[in-house]
Structure 1
């Protein structure tokens, strides 16, 4: 009767070669781990840089200056053209390619952009107002004046510029197929932007006036004259989750006025320590509310309509 002569201790085939290959793989793994070259280590470093906490500039005079660190925020507004959209204040964010982000700890250019529901200044959403043509750091930025928007992404010694160019068959935004907005490290005229007053009837009057901080403005691309826009109804699956598309296109209503999707705010830091940005400050009461509060605080006063009316004797 035949017996099974093979057991766990029996080695068959090229067992010696397999042992050496396994030892070589282990030595290679340990060497990459010690040098920090494993994919999980690269991925962790990239995420730490992009999510590194940043400090926004505090505007002492209420205006934007060259060299200020700000967040670009699209204010909350209802999207009447779509049933499903992303609400809240959306900030412009650096969004690397999801597959490349898992393979390297460096940012490849051109790098994409998106808008996300985040109010905390981090490496991926903190921009620096840069000079475009001989301006001085600390000088006030004015309506109609060229400026550049740079972002470091939490990396040291690197700067990426917000850029755009005309749409082509090979180059356009992912969802809307409109003019693409991207980040590049090349310094050119494609990096230049201008701010405009939202009301077209007062736009010429405000030309040359300082740009106020934390106020609604239009950001237009100088080369193509297209406005920066956040498409709240066009979702993107990014490295950080579900966000929405950002492109360069000007949307006008029936009165030839730019729609709220083209409105942006240059958000500065909060001088107080309880909140990172000015958006988190409590809103002051309206003028009518303050007037009623002052009347209520007056001794013997009443807020009832007609309480102070004169009564005539019968």
Structure 2
């Protein structure tokens, strides 16, 4: 029987190449870590930007202006019979695709838009009201006047615009198959919107009047004439949990009036507390003088 000339700890095969390969992999890992290019580092930057707390504008004259930072809020629904709130508030928000959010530190367009619960101003739900020519900064937005809704999503050097287009067989909302709403990095006629007065019977009379802040309005897409809607019947699984679908579709009741799905509020901040909105400002009861 032949005698063994080696033991178990003797190196066999391409052991030298394996050592060099491990050293190169460790060197590459350390370089990416120092540059902040590791997958977990990039993902954390994206989430940090989206969830970064922001300050929204507050208005002194009660109207919405070009350049204001606002929350686009679908208000509470109340039961007309019981008088109780049956659906809470929803806020328009940026929602990157779940798979891409895991492997990126940036938002890839077109990006999804959903309606989230909770109204704390943050990067993913703060929108800027934009004028088409860029020369109307500070002026009041008026009913029937075109404007854009842009967001930085927490990034300082980027701007994304809320847009929509006619639905096709390949482009529609995921759950309801209605006209899709998305974010894009190109400002065009597909990203133009108009504010429409809430009451259809007074709509013509209010044409051209300034749009009040923190008041129910309709937001219609200029190209398709469909109203922005928070479709509460459909929930989407997103990177941040379940959120409601947003689409462009005008829902009418028996009186030919838009349903609460199409009601929106351009919500401004509370000047006494920059981390909250004016709708959450406590309402103090009025003091009544008691006559002797």
Give TM-score scaled by structure 1 length: 0.86
Quick check: 1:246 aligned with 2:240? no
Q: CA deviation at 1:180?
A: 0.4
Distance 1:5 1:239, change over 3 A: farther
Instruction: State the secondary structure of the residue aligned to 1:211.
Output: coil
**Distance in 1 of aligned mates of 2:89 and 2:2:** 78
Alignment of 1:99-248 (within 5 A): 99-133=99-133, 135-248=135-248
Bigger drift between 159-168 and 102-111 goes to 102-111
Q: How far did residue 132 of structure 1 move?
A: 1.7
Distance in 1 (CA, whole Å) between partners of 2:3 and 2:64 is: 88
Matches within 5 A, 1:74-93: 74-77=74-77, 87-93=87-93
The whole-number CA distance in structure 2 between the counterparts of 1:4 and 1:277 is 81
Q: CA deviation at 1:3?
A: 10
Aligned residue-pair number: 287
Deviation at 1:153, TM superposition (A): 0.8
1:10 deviates by 3.3
- The Cα of 1:273 is off from its aligned counterpart by 2.2
Task: State whether structure 2 residue 276 is matched by structure 1 residue 276.
Answer: yes
Taking the aligned partners of 1:4 and 1:283, their CA distance within structure 2 comes to 91
- Measured after TM superposition, the shift of residue 251 of structure 1 is 0.2
Is the CA contact (8 Å cut-off) linking 1:79 and 1:232 kept in structure 2? no
1:11 corresponds to: 11
Q: Is the 8 A contact 2:250 2:258 kept in 1?
A: yes
Shift of 1:12: 3.0
Displacement of 1:231 in angstroms is 1.1
Following superposition, the deviation at residue 8 of structure 1 comes to 5.3
Rg comparison, structure with higher value = 1
Change (3 A) 1:5 1:168: farther
Measure how far apart 1:194 and its partner are. 0.3
Distance in structure 2 (CA, Å) of the matches to 1:6 and 1:298? 109
Distance 1:209 1:278 in 2: 22
Show the counterpart of 1:294: 288
8 Å CA contact retained: 1:275, 1:281: no
Alpha-carbon distance change, 270 to 8 in structure 1, aligned in 2, over 3 angstroms: farther
- The secondary structure found in structure 1 opposite 2:37 is coil
1:251-274: per-residue Cα shift (whole Å, max 9, x none)?
A: 000110000010000000101127
Alignment of 1:46-61 (within 5 A): 46-61=46-61
Kindly indicate whether the alpha-carbon contact (under 8 Å) linking 1:62 and 1:212 is maintained by their aligned counterparts in 2.
yes
Of 60-69 and 265-274, deviating more is 265-274
Report deviation, 1:87: 3.4
CA distance in 2, matches of 1:7, 1:210: 88
Question: How has the CA–CA distance of structure 1 residues 79 and 44 changed in structure 2, closer, same or farther, with 3 Å as cutoff?
Answer: farther
Cα separation, partners in 2 of 1:148 and 1:274, compared to 1, 3 Å = closer
CA displacement 1:108-150 (0-9 Å, x = unmatched): 1111100101211111111111002465111111111110001
**Structure 2 alignment gaps of length 5 or more:** 81-85
The 2-side partners of 1:87 and 1:2 are apart by 84
CA distance 1:68–1:17, change in 2 (3 Å):
same
State the distance in 2 between where 1:280 and 1:70 align.
14
The structure with the largest strand share of the pair is 2
Cα distance, 1:17 vs structure 2: 2.0
1:95 and 2:89 aligned: no
